[in-house]
């Protein structure tokens, strides 16, 4: 019986030799592999140059784990999981919070795996068919090495549909509570990992919440796409006089209110259930600190132009209505928009709004969301702080 393998077209080895973990379907000459199988990747002459898992259903046909003839085994997976955890400790992330991303897919050389840690409870996402096949091994390693209180699977990312996988919500170990209480820079939050967005909380905005807290004293704050109120609470804890949280989800706003009560700032908080685009169309913006952190408006290459228009529309309307001497923190979490392009969008919005706008800071994702130097696509979060004169 011949071994399954994938063979590249002649001249298509360059990105692999440069350790990029993605192999696109157009670069492949021949395939003898089942979807999800861990197989060697061969150059045109048959030499094994990498190992990864294959899926015929997706444009990214292979995601690579090694760049040699060594086949990935359980020891390699365990070492990378523990290295990922060690990075969070060494970088100091765990000194300020008990909630962090423990594994960030390609950023931790485990493509297709997300693992978030919430005060001893672990939430995992298996986003690809190849990583899904490694589920039992990964869960066992996490359980034995890190001894979490529980492990919950929240694998319902839209990418799983493209991979030919169903959505899965499952208790894999222990018992995950309805709400997990976490601490971040002295702020308390309740996280619903089962019904909340993504895995329950946006750890990637941790540093930017501290930024908002640092400028909030005496300010009036508008938090758009507020979810569970993280930016609002940071502002109120920093001395803001009032914070308005706008979100289309009544459930998210109910958690935001609970979080405000938990931090003793509820009297200065107002939740508004509304579509954010409609809200900024029909309401004045008297607030002098505004946060705009929308969901990814660009989820595929085919939606880039439509998404860019969405980002610009949001920022134009905010810039037009923001009062003089106000700060706006505007964000994009789409990997299809890099910082250079996002700044061009913000520039274009400022120009169309005919306002004096100055950039006071540009920010990327924190250390627990590492970016592979070989895969710049893992840099997804961009935030720009501007001052409107």
Cβ-in-10-Å burial (0-12, 13-18, 19+) of 110 comes to buried
Q: How far apart are the first and last CA of the chain?
A: 72
Q: Identify the pLDDT of residue 1.
A: 47
Q: Identify the pLDDT of residue 184.
A: 98
* Residue 355 to residue 344: CA distance in whole angstroms: 15
The phi, psi pair for 275, rounded to 5°, reads -70, 125
pTM: 0.94
Q: Identify the pLDDT of residue 302.
A: 73
User: How does residue 135 score in pLDDT terms, banded at 50, 70 and 90?
Assistant: very high
| CATH 2.30.130.10 boundaries in the chain | 5-66
* CATH 3.30.750.80 correct for 74-180: yes
| CATH 3.30.750.80 boundaries in the chain | 74-180
Provide mean pLDDT across the span 376-386: 95
- β-pairing, 289-292 vs 220-224, is parallel
Which of the two residues, 308 and 73, has the higher pLDDT score? 73
The fold of the 202-388 domain, in CATH, is: Rossmann fold (3.40.50)
Least confident of 63-72, 112-121, 159-168, 179-188: 159-168
Alpha-helix residue ranges (DSSP H) falling in the chain: 14-17, 74-90, 129-133, 135-146, 158-162, 206-215, 230-237, 250-262, 276-282, 304-321, 339-353
Residue 300 has pLDDT above 80, yes or no: no
Q: Identify the pLDDT of residue 2.
A: 61
Provide mean pLDDT across the span 15-24: 97
Determine the CATH number of domain 5-66: 2.30.130.10
Provide mean pLDDT across the span 34-56: 97
Residue 305 has pLDDT above 90, yes or no: no
In the chain, what percentage of residues exceed pLDDT 70?
A: 99
| CATH 3.40.50.150 boundaries in the chain | 202-388
| Beta bridge partner(s), residue 205 | none
Provide mean pLDDT across the span 98-102: 98
Site of tokens 């994009």: 332
Structure tokens at 239: 């001395």
* Residue 243 to residue 74: CA distance in whole angstroms: 49
Residue 26 has pLDDT above 50, yes or no: yes
Provide mean pLDDT across the span 355-375: 97
Q: What is the mean pLDDT of the chain?
A: 96
If one counts every other C-beta atom within 10 angstroms of the C-beta of residue 202, the result is 19
Sign of CA dihedral 37, 115, 207, 233: positive
* Residue 92 to residue 368: CA distance in whole angstroms: 10
238-251 confidence digits (pLDDT tens): 999 999 999 999 99
Residue 269 has pLDDT above 60, yes or no: yes
CA 284, 285, 291 angle in degrees (round to 5)?
Answer: 145
Burial 325-337 (b: 16+ CB within 10 A, else e): ebbbbbbbbbbbb
Residue whose C-alpha is closest to residue 134's, from 195, 51, 233: 51
Residue whose C-alpha is closest to residue 291's, from 357, 209, 389: 209
């Amino acid at each position: 019986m011949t071994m399954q393998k994938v063979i590249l077209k002649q001249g298509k080895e360059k990105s692999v030799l440069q350790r990029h973990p993605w192999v696109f379907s157009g670069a492949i000459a021949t395939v003898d592999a089942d979807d999800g199988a861990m197989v060697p990747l061969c150059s045109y002459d048959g030499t094994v140059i990498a190992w990864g898992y294959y899926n015929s259903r997706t444009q990214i046909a292979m995601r690579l784990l090694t760049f040699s003839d060594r086949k990935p085994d359980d020891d390699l997976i365990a070492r990378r999981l523990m290295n990922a955890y060690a990075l969070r400790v060494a970088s100091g992330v765990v000194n300020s919070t008990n909630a962090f991303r423990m594994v960030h897919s390609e950023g931790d050389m485990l493509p297709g795996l997300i693992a978030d840690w919430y005060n001893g409870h672990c939430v995992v996402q298996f986003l690809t068919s190849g990583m899904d096949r490694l589920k039992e091994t990964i869960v066992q390693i996490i359980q034995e090495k890190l001894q979490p209180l529980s492990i919950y699977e929240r694998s319902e990312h839209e990418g799983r549909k493209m991979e030919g996988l169903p959505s899965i919500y499952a208790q894999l170990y222990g018992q995950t509570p309805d709400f997990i209480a976490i601490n971040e820079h002295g702020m308390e939050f309740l996280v619903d990992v089962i019904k909340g967005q993504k895995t329950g909380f946006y750890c990637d905005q941790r540093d930017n919440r501290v930024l908002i807290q640092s400028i909030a004293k005496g300010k009036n704050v508008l938090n758009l796409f507020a979810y569970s109120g993280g930016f609002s609470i940071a502002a109120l804890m920093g001395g803001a006089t009032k914070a308005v949280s706008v979100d289309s989800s009544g459930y998210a706003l109910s958690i935001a209110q609970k979080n405000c009560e938990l931090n003793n700032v509820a009297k200065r908080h107002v939740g508004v259930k509304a579509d954010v685009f409609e809200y900024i169309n029909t309401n004045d913006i008297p607030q002098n600190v505004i946060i705009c952190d929308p969901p990814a408006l660009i989820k595929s290459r085919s939606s880039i132009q439509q998404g860019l228009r969405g980002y610009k529309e949001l920022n134009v309307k905010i810039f037009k209505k923001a009062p003089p001497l106000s700060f706006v923190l505007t964000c994009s979490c789409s990997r299809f928009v890099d910082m250079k392009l996002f700044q061009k969008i913000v520039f274009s919005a400022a120009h169309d709004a005919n306002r004096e706008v100055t950039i006071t800071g540009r920010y990327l994702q924190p250390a627990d969301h590492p970016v592979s130097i070989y895969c710049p696509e893992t840099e997804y979060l961009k935030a720009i702080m501007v001052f409107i004169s």
